[in-house]
Amino acid sequence: MPLDKAKPSFVLPKLPFAENALEPVISARTISFHYGKHHATYVDKLNELVAGTPYESMPLVEVVKKSARQEKDKAIFNNAAQAWNHDFYWHSMAANGGEPSGRIKDALQSSFGGVKEFKEAFAKAAVAQFGSGWAWLVKGADGKLKIATTSNADTPIAHGETPLLTADVWEHAYYLDYQNRRPDHVKAWLDRLANWAFAENNLG
């Protein structure tokens, strides 16, 4: 069936929570700007860029993976990856994040020596990420968990890795609430918002 050209190939997914659900760690104002402006703009720009190309009929994850290998499609990659990263980020948070348990807790203990040790290492990596980017908990090919950081739009799925959870450390993710206090934001994010049920589900 041919695509309906009146409809965009990609749409902005709904947030998995209300805009004020993450307060006081992340304000409704920050979510409104971050989701309604930044994320939405990546989706709109992606639709402009893929129109009339083979990418417009692909799932978003495939657009990310394929465009990552094509220098001529860098703009498509940047917008597709940011659209994917942001949707993954929203699901990486929950109002009742709490502490990890079950399989994900066991995996953190096996890979990092404990939940406390993981949080310390993750926070250090997230705070040290220079400029704009992301901090990730990923599962490697050996099944072990590790912490990764990526700059700008880069994403683990472009490198064959399995992300479990991500924290956005672009300034627009926290500046309205924390100004330049990235360490405070990351600590609050880890302690109160990290969605461990989502991370465990991504373990496979």
d(CA 25, CA 3): 41
Q: φ and ψ at 150, to 5 degrees?
A: -130, 150
Residue with tokens 């709490």: 98
Average pLDDT over residues 23-37: 96
- Both ends of the chain: CA-CA distance in Å? 33
pLDDT at 82 over 80: yes
Break the chain into its structural domains and give their ranges.
28-91, 102-202
pLDDT of residue 27: 96
144-172 residue pLDDT tens: 899 999 999 999 999 999 999 999 998 88
**3 pLDDT more than 70:** no
- Cβ 81 vs Cβ 87: under 8 Å: no
The fold for domain 28-91 equals: Helix Hairpins (1.10.287)
Q: Give me the pLDDT at residue 178, please.
A: 79
Mean pLDDT of all residues in 67-90:
97
CA 189, CA 22: separation in Å to the nearest integer? 10
Please name which of 50, 36, 48, 65 lies closest in space to residue 162, comparing C-alpha atoms.
65
Domain 102-202 is classified in which CATH homologous superfamily?
Iron/manganese superoxide dismutase, C-terminal domain (3.55.40.20)
Nearest one of 59, 137, 150, 63 to 105, comparing CA atoms: 137
pLDDT digits (tens, 9 = 90+) for 110-150: 999 999 999 999 999 999 998 899 999 999 888 889 999 99
Average pLDDT over residues 85-112: 95
Q: Quote the distance between the C-alpha of residue 3 and its chain's center.
A: 29
